[in-house]
Amino acid sequence: MTMPFMKPPRKNPVLRTPQINLPPAARGRVALGLTAAAAEGRFVLQVCAGCGAVQYPPREACHRCLSPELPWQSQDGTGALLASTTLAHSNDLYFRERLPWRLGMVQLDAGPSVMVHLHGEVGEAPQRVRVGARLDRAGQAVLIGYPEKGTENMADDPMLREMGSDPRYRKVLVTDGKSATGQAVVRALVKAGADLVWVGHAEPWKQAHGLPGLAELAALPQVALVPLDVTDERSVSTLAGQIGGKVDIVVNTAELHRGFGIAARRGTDVAKAEMEVNYLGLLRLAQCFGPALKGRSADGATHATAWVNLLSIYALANFPPHGTFSASKAAALSLAQCLRAEMRPAGIRVVNVFPGPIDDEWNQNLPPPKLAPAALASAIVKALKDGVEDIYPGDVAQEWLERWRHNPKVLEREIAAGGY
């Protein structure tokens, strides 16, 4: 049985902050399909379109009929543990720091035999297990063998915590606490056990009691309001100088949303304001807080671990009634991909969130279904715990994603013709 994770003691300020060591990250191109699915929390294997053979490890041709048509398909991961071993020595520095490390061989019900990292609750062979795919600290997919029936604290297994970004006992910065979404995220983080949540608000001269919901947040013992305006580089850099070395997770909820396309209004003021917050705001935050997170990525059991970006499903395909907002989120998506590439060598997980329309004032004229801020906040916390990179909360986001993957051009035409 997994022991519950307890709050670690405070770090001795005299001790040197260790540098991150990552697990081996080399993968062939064909194997990246497994990683792409694991980034969304799915376990997939190649299934031959010709003979139906399921195969692992990934190859460019079917091992049975040599067909090159090998689409990735989701698997339930059920199987039998055939054998296990415990490593007491490793030539790789990452595993050497974490020994002993258990490995097992699993015969999947789907057919292939796979080598997996074993969860601490899995006993000795033979027994039934469940295999899933997770991203390791290097951002690559690895296979985990779980017990068929886990216990309440199984998520506290040291190996799983290493591959996730659980906010429990960590310090989090939420960049905008004025919006309904930002406030819901703060409450969800507090409920998840965050040690301290800094909540940014852009106009600190306005009293908190005059802002809906902000006064209630300020009354929580885990919450501290801090001045933060993502459109002001001095504001961002000043806050980074004050708390940057303490932040473990950044959740960027700051966004400006206006419902206009190109011809709906003259001038570029609104589009500039959206870019100033949605794109340049992310850039300022990344430049000021990114280096501090990377420097603390190996700093004890509650090291700096994740960066969350609130984007939009409209970043994948422009929604003309919200055209300039969609464009700003598309720019933010491109920047977030750059941020992910720069953060990966430090083991910092960059989580991009692509919600459908949120139930707020700027989407009030859109028909349901719309995503409640509390549901969005729960999805963000779950993504942190599960260690995934991309999430698409809400029915609309899931439908758009499926249509976009099937044919982006068809989706573009459907939306342009008034579809939704």
Whether the CB-CB separation of 209 and 192 falls below 8 Å is answered with no
* Per-residue pLDDT, 367: 82
What string of DSSP letters covers 189-204? HHHTT-SEEEEEES-T
Q: In whole angstroms, how far apart are CA 130 and each of 113, 150, 296?
A: 13, 10, 33
Cα dihedral sign for 209, 211, 212, 217? Answer: negative
Side by side, the strands of the sheet bearing 72-74 are: 54-55, 44-47, 72-74
Residue with tokens 């303490």: 246
The domain limits of the chain are 29-163, 171-416
Tell me the C-alpha distance between 384 and 163, whole Å. 10
Give the pLDDT confidence of 373-393 residue by residue, as tens digits. Answer: 999 999 999 999 999 999 999
Provide CATH code, domain 171-416: 3.40.50.720
**How would you classify the pairing of strands 101-108 and 113-118?**
antiparallel
- Cβ atoms within 10 A of the Cβ of 409, count? 9
Query: 183: exposed, middle or buried (C-beta count within 10 Å: 0-12, 13-18, 19+)?
Result: buried
pLDDT along the chain (420 residues), means of 10: 79 80 88 95 96 95 95 96 95 91 96 96 94 95 92 88 94 95 96 96 64 83 96 97 96 92 87 96 98 92 94 96 95 98 96 94 83 96 96 95 95 86
> Dihedrals φ, ψ of 116, to 5°?
-130, 155
